[in-house]
Amino acid sequence: MTDGTPQVSVEFLGLPGAGKSTVEGLLVRELKRSMTVYDENALTRKALLRHIRQRERGRLKVGAFIAGRLLLRNVYAVTKYEVGAFNRFNLEHSALTSLIMEAASNDSVPLSRKEKICKLWFKFTSAWQLAKESGPPRDMTIWSEGFAQRGLSAIGMCPPERAFRLLDDYARMLPAPSCVIHVTAPIETLTDRMTKRSRGVPEPLRSMSNAERSAYLSQLETYVELLFSQLDPGTQRVTLDNHDGAVSGILGLAREVRERLHIQGQAES
């Protein structure tokens, strides 16, 4: 079990609608039976509170922060601690952030989408930095959308020639996770899922026809495969076929992740 810098981190990668969040939730639940595992939301809350306690004296400020977060739970209120974490991240990874900003500045990307790319990058990298510095003791961290997926979401909006160049650079610069799980499903299955649950479909897919979605997802699939193949050699790669949406292989997936990362659960020790 580690304290601070996570020694074992697992990320998910895949097309919209492939089931990354669903698989992540089930995998976290299964792995928690035998080890200490945090998903990104629980880890971010814990790390932020630990960070504040380490830097602020007195319970009043900590209590005021918690109360403020509860009152503003439906508003993304940024704290000085998150801004500081983002700044510290950029001291080490300025080229990575510059690359994401270059992707976001693409003229074909709507302003609202550019703003969202920047907001999500800030939110993820500040959380990642806080987890690295002040995260609670844990055996594993699981990110439903880590560096690989965040980069894909931003760069995938660019024209193909530019996207391939940026992805090639991005794959070499991103902090290497211990393992990346590639969740797959046929394009036809994904478009069908989006038709049935249009409420959860991300932009720009929401406003597309099925034919446009299929073409866009096919191009995005090329980027996913490129990024997946160019991950750091030390990163374990696992592929999960989720075409039926039943996620029936969670036990096998948990076992494979433990074996690939040489982790022995408490129940197996």
List the chain domain ranges: 9-260
Q: Which phi and psi angles does 202 have, rounded to 5°?
A: -75, 155
Query: How many Cα neighbours within 13 Å face the side chain of 1?
Result: 12
pTM of the predicted model, to two decimals? 0.85
pLDDT, mean of residues 39-43: 88
Reading the block at residue 195, the tokens are: 């038709």
For residue 3, pLDDT beyond 50? no
140 or 7, greater pLDDT: 140
Rounded mean pLDDT, 17-26: 90
Q: What confidence score (pLDDT) does residue 59 get?
A: 59
List, for residues 189-246, the tens digit of each pLDDT value: 898 888 877 666 777 787 888 888 899 999 999 999 999 999 999 999 999 988 776 6
The string of pLDDT tens digits covering residues 100-154 is 999 998 887 788 888 989 999 999 999 999 999 988 888 899 999 899 999 999 9
Please determine, for residue 4, whether its predicted confidence score (pLDDT) is greater than 50.
no
CATH fold group of domain 9-260: Rossmann fold (3.40.50)
Query: Do 218 and 50 meet the contact criterion of CB atoms below 8 Å apart?
Result: no
User: Can you give the length of the chain in residues?
Assistant: 269
